[in-house]
Structures are given as C-alpha cells and as structure tokens.
Amino acid sequence: MGSDPLGDVRWAGYRRKLIEDIRARGIEDLEILQLFDRVPRHLFLPEGVRPRAYEDAAIPIGYSQTASQPSLQAYYISILKPTSDDKVLEIGTGSGYQTALLALLADRVYSVERVRELSQRARQALDAFGVKNVALLVGDGTIGWRKYAPFDVIVVSAASPSVPQALVDQLADGGRMLIPVGGRDIQELTLVTKTGFAVSEEVVGGPVKFVPLLGRFAWSEEGGA
Ligand code: SAH
C-alpha cells in the first residue's frame, strides 16, 4: 500500500479491528475514528508488547506505567475536541501515542512526563511518526508548563486526588481540561472549563482507573506508583 509511509501493512488489519472496538464503545464521530487509523500505536510501544498494540486495552510500557486504553483516549478527544487553532498541554506523555493523536488535531502539543526514559522513547517514536508540532518536557506536570501557558486544552493522563490549581491557572479563557479525579484505585473523569474568571467542574465519565499522578500537587512520589 503506497499510502502507508511506515510500511506497516501487516498492522493495518489489526488497526481496523481496534477502530471497530472503539466504535462499539460508543464513539461514532468519523473524524475521531479516522484519527485512530492514522496513528500506528505499535510504533509507540516497547518491542515485547507490540503484538498487543491494537487491543483496546491499557498496555504496560515499563517503569510501572501503562499506555492508556484507546477507547478512553477517543472519549477524551470527543469531549475536548481539540482544533487546529488550539494549544494543548498533556500531562503524562507515557508512550507518546496520545501525544501523536493530539498533534494531528491541534496547532501545538506541549507534553510533560516525569520519567525521563519514557519521554526519550516517546520522542523517538514521535520523530519516526513524523509529527513536528510537539514539545516534550521532563518534569512534574502538576505544576503545568508555565512558559507556554495559557492552554486551550489540558489533558491529564494520570489520576489525581484533586484538580491541581496550577493547571486551572494555566487554562485559557474558553479552555477545557479533562482529568481523572478520585482515589488511587478508582476515579471519575472530571471536565474543568474556564470562561472569563468563572471555573466550573463537571463529572463526565467513569469510573476509570489510571496510574497515579505523582508530584507536588498530587500524590507524593514516596507513596510508590
Ligand atoms: N497518555 C499516556 C498515558 C501514560 S500513563 C499513554 O497513553 O501512553 C500516565 C503517565 O503519567 C506515566 O507515564 C507517568 O509516568 C506520568 N506521570 C505521573 N505523574 C506525573 C507528573 N506529575 N508529571 C508528568 N507525568 C506524570
């Protein structure tokens, strides 16, 4: 297939199956479904788990972390609807797969990851995929990324005991943030929107189970991941 720049024809069939699974989870938006056809998830996963790349499941990526479940990422995107004008902040780069999905929709994606090795691996995969509008930072995402604030969209990919105020502060007027809030074992998906000085919070999904957000304005690192 000449339209397959990564030569991953053998994966394309699996990817179609994943898209069916995402659709079965209630995501009908064609643009979102096509987005998942454009990003080769296997490229973002460690060698050993690549055969599972197109399962609609969280997949271990090392360092006690997981790549999130694709249908959940599709749900995030359906709620946040990033557009080509939007500046996006992602907390928890992880594999970089979701970073790539967001990069295809948004103007620019700024993504923060606390595990240096994961950020480095994500950089390699993003370069191999060929997206150029992504900036990565190794650090504590609970304090956001002040240098590039404010952000139209903030995507938090790890579970937090509460909404970190620094992230609310870095949300643009008209901005929206999705973050799993709750206990270490189970959380609700919380949508935070900002209009002028008014900030509102609404539960839009769950229960979900994300790995913990570890940092200054979430859980302490000593608690273990
Ligand atoms: N969207 C990613 C999700 C990875 S899991 C993917 O699909 O691959 C969540 C990630 O958040 C982990 O890689 C973890 O190391 C990271 N993380 C946890 N606390 C963080 C913090 N305070 N700042 C930045 N990243 C953090």
Phi, psi torsion values for 204, nearest 5 degrees: -115, 5
pLDDT, one tens digit per residue, over 134-167 is 999 999 999 999 999 999 999 999 999 999 999 9
How far is Cα 102 from Cα 139, in angstroms, rounded to an integer?
20
Do 193 and 200 meet the contact criterion of CB atoms below 8 Å apart?
yes
Task: Check pocket membership of 114 for ligand 1, CB cut-off 6 A.
Answer: yes
Question: Domain residue spans in the chain?
Answer: 65-208
Q: Tell me, what's the pLDDT at 221? A: 81
Model confidence at 224: pLDDT above 60:
no
221 or 137: which leads in pLDDT? 137
Q: Is the pLDDT of residue 127 over 50?
A: yes
Q: Alpha-carbon distance 219 to 181, whole Å? A: 12
Distance 20 CA to ligand 1 centre (A): 27
CA of 158 to the centre of ligand 1 (A): 6
Instruction: Say if residues 211 and 95 touch (Cβ distance below 8 Å).
Output: no
* CB half-sphere exposure, 136, CA atoms < 13 A: 26
How many CB atoms are located within 10 Å of the residue 45 CB? 23
Q: Calculate mean pLDDT across residues 184-199.
A: 97
Q: Is the CB of 144 under 6 A from ligand 1?
A: no
Nearest to 70 by CA among 92, 101, 93, 49: 101
Domain 65-208 in this protein, CATH class: alpha beta
Whether the predicted model's global pTM rises above the 0.85 cut: yes
pLDDT more than 70, % of the chain:
95
CA of 3 to the centre of ligand 1 (A): 32
Instruction: Judge contact between 72 and 133, C-beta under 8 A.
Output: no
**Is 178 close to ligand 1, i.e. is its CB under 6 Å away?**
no
Burial of residue 33, with CB atoms counted within 10 A of its CB: 0-12 exposed, 13-18 middle, 19 or more buried = middle
Tokens standing for residue 177 = 């943030």
Catalytic residues: 68
What's the mean pLDDT in 29-49? 96
